[in-house]
Amino acid sequence: MRLSYLGSDAEEVSDVLTRCIGPVRVQQPPKTDLSYSYEFVAAGRVAFSRVTSQGSLSIGQKAKLLILLSLHGSACVKIGPKESLISKPGHAAILDGNKLSELQVEKARSHFSLVIDQGDIFRQLGAVLERPVYGALDFVPELDLADGAGEIIFKLSQIMAASLGPGSDIPDMPHALSYLSASIVSLLVDTVPHRFSAALSQGEWLPSPRHVKRAVDFMHANLRAPISMSDIAEAAGIGVRSLQEGFKRFKGTSPISYLAQLRMEAAHRDLLEADQRVSVAEIARKWGFRHMGRFANEYRKCYGCPPSEARKGRALS
């Protein structure tokens, strides 16, 4: 997918950005002028854009991991209710998709934007750690673009920028863009500190022994059944204590907590995909959550929003 836009209407800009990256809200102060240029390309695991604006505007977004690479001008970035930073040349601003973020721009501004589906990162981490991964990724909010991983990400972004615009140097090379985007995601996960960095460095990535794998298989096969620790240990062919030690070493959690994670993941999937006529309570009970208040609290901790908001496609509030 490729798109180029040049305009001066905040509502049009909202529509264009929403079409490309998901729910976005653009606001412009009354009696002010705005000029907005947007060049976009979907490049495999990353959506990439170059933005140039003149005037005052505020852009709110949620549900995507957004990396802003400032080229000219500054902007105030608000992440969640408390955190804020200044996006400026030489530094990347990393916006967590589980928190409502807002970009406030004054005067002239230009930047590259990398938009990454957090689910892609969750799947990558889950495959390595062999356990469900969800919730806030909690990447460090700023990254120096003149050193280490930040410098490499910025150089790869400059190469990707060559694919933008009508006179692009690489207009018909989707595989090259896909490889570049995959490199950026891997570099981000492997080198930029985030919530799961410690798990990756402390050996949770080691292949699980057979008894742990048997326990996990048993959990998957009985997600909706009222199984106990003893049931899991018996299915794995070991004692309860050995099961607990195995999960602590190779999964970083207890067997019961791991089972709860699997059930929460299943409930989350249903909330996003099930028929809207099926209530949140029905979905919660389906996966073994009997206390609705506790389920809502745990869901919010994992996904950054209440279950009812997930049913609405996590639209901006």
The 10 Å CB-count burial string (b at 16+, else e) for 272-311 is eebeeeeebeebbebbbbeeeeebbebbeebbbbebebbb
The more confident residue out of 111 and 252 is 111
* CB of 47 closer than 8 Å to CB of 115: yes
pLDDT confidence tier of residue 206, bands split at 50, 70 and 90: low
Residues 262, 130: Cα–Cα separation, whole Å = 12
Q: What is the DSSP letter of 56?
A: -
Strands (E), the chain: 2-7, 24-27, 34-43, 46-55, 57-61, 65-72, 75-79, 83-87, 91-95, 101-105, 108-116, 142-144
**Bridge pairing between strands 65-72 and 108-116:** antiparallel
User: Tokens 């809200």 correspond to what residue?
Assistant: 25
- What are the pLDDT digits (tens) for 218-229? 999 999 999 999
pLDDT confidence of residue 51: 95
* Under 8 Å between Cβ of 23 and 61: yes
- 215 within 8 A of 232, measured Cβ to Cβ: yes
CA-to-CA distance for 192 and 222, rounded, in angstroms? 36
Give the mean pLDDT of the chain: 86
pLDDT at position 180 is: 85
The pLDDT, as a whole number, for residue 174 is 67
Q: Which fold has domain 2-201?
A: Jelly Rolls (2.60.120)
Selected residue with higher pLDDT from 246 and 163: 246
Q: Is the pLDDT of residue 12 over 90?
A: yes
58-97 pLDDT, tens per residue? 998 876 889 999 999 999 998 877 788 999 999 999 988 7
Q: At residue 204, does pLDDT exceed 70?
A: no
H-helix or E-strand spanning residue 258: helix 255-273
Give the model's pLDDT for residue 306.
83
Domains 2-201 and 210-311 alike in fold = no
CA dihedral 80, 86, 88, 94 (to 10 degrees): -20
Output 216 or 119, whichever has higher pLDDT. Answer: 216
pTM of the model: 0.73
In the DSSP assignment, the letter for residue 99 is: S
| Local structure of residue 207 (DSSP, 8 states) | P
pLDDT digits (tens, 9 = 90+) for 88-102: 999 999 988 777 788
CATH code of the region 210-311: 1.10.10.60
Compute the distance between CA of residue 256 and CA of residue 258 in angstroms, rounded to an integer: 5
Q: What percent of the chain has pLDDT over 90?
A: 47
Domain borders along the chain are: 2-201, 210-311
Per-residue pLDDT, 171: 54
pLDDT, tens digit (0-9, with 9 covering 90-100), for 152-161: 999 999 988 8
Measured distance CA(208)–CA(232) in Å, rounded? 16
Local structure of residue 229 (DSSP, 8 states): H
Tokens of 135: 């919730």
Q: Please give the average per-residue pLDDT across 292-308, as a whole number.
A: 85
108 — pLDDT class (breaks 50, 70, 90): very high
Closest of 94, 34, 42 to residue 70, by C-alpha: 94
pLDDT tens digits for range 268-277 = 889 888 788 8
pLDDT at 303 over 80: no
| Span of 96-100, 178-182, 235-239 with lowest mean pLDDT | 96-100
Contact 170, 180 (CB under 8 A): no
pLDDT tens track for 305-317: 788 877 765 444 3
